[in-house]
Structure 1
Amino acid sequence: MSSPQKSPKKLGARHKARKRAVDFLFEAEARDLDPVVLADERSELAATDDQVAPVSAYTVTLVTGVAENLDRVDSVIGDHLHDWTLDRLPAVDRAILRVAVWELLHATDVPPVVAVDEAVELAKQLSTDDSPSFVNGILGQIVLVAPQVRAAAAATPVVRESAPDAE
């Protein structure tokens, strides 16, 4: 009797949205573009060209969230890289970690285990053989401090720059 084969993991809409967000973040960094503008342009293009896949609302949420919180997200990642810098990471791993860390810090509807599992799955699909365990290790450390980082961010008042006065 043969053993049952493991069925492939079902990839849902949120997984696809995360992958698309990673794609946009990766492309924007490679082309030195604003990722939010890139996502908006693709959304507009998808509305007029059926050859371009629609951009989900969650993809836009992720890209916008990462872009608006990039300094904090990168700081949290950097604090857990031990003997590495963010710049030394492969660009795809950077994008995967940014999406996952943003979810850990800001997406209250996403359980931490899901954010980590999804990031590891993306690393398996998109990066090197070593990346899934590396991503899992970094995110495993960040999961432990995410509640404190989230609480500290909530306690810090947001300072918005005011527009210069028109003369």
Structure 2
Amino acid sequence: MSGWMCETVFAHLTVADDGTASGRFLEDSLYFMTARSHLPPPRPPLRKGIGNARESRIDPAILQCGTALWVAQLAAPQTQVAWGENVTFLIDASTGSRVEARPDPAGGWTVLQHGPTRMWDEIEKAIETWQEAGQPHQSGFGLTVTPESPWVWLGDPDGPTWNLPA
């Protein structure tokens, strides 16, 4: 499973008699070449200072940790990330939504969100859920796939979940 933030994980799934599949993500880091049809769309230009500002509850620099970036992909699967000097940009090319996260001179971090999708709100909730669980590696997560939908769970299938685009 890979996202447009370029974090990739593999899962070992077991198929049940009813056709559903479930299992955990692997500990090993594995890589493969992405097919052109799976690449993200061209990223729009990065522009600073757009959107409604608020204080962030998490340090945007945490997204430089591979597992945290993967968790962010769960919350905002259509999002691309870019880093500038002390700035993290997130862009959803499908909706035009944008996030600019940067240190606040008074302390903490400021986030500007623009567009129909409040990506940082969802990413922040996902990261906090992961932190509350002790920041487990991707192997602490699992995947369930049914004919209706796929979803990722944290800890066990009854734990926190994120629905995946089909």
Structure with more of its chain in strand, by fraction: 2
Q: Which has the higher contact order (CA 8 A, sep 6+)?
A: 2
Structure with more of its chain in helix, by fraction: 1
**TM-score normalised over the length of structure 1:** 0.24
**TM-score normalised over the length of structure 2:** 0.24
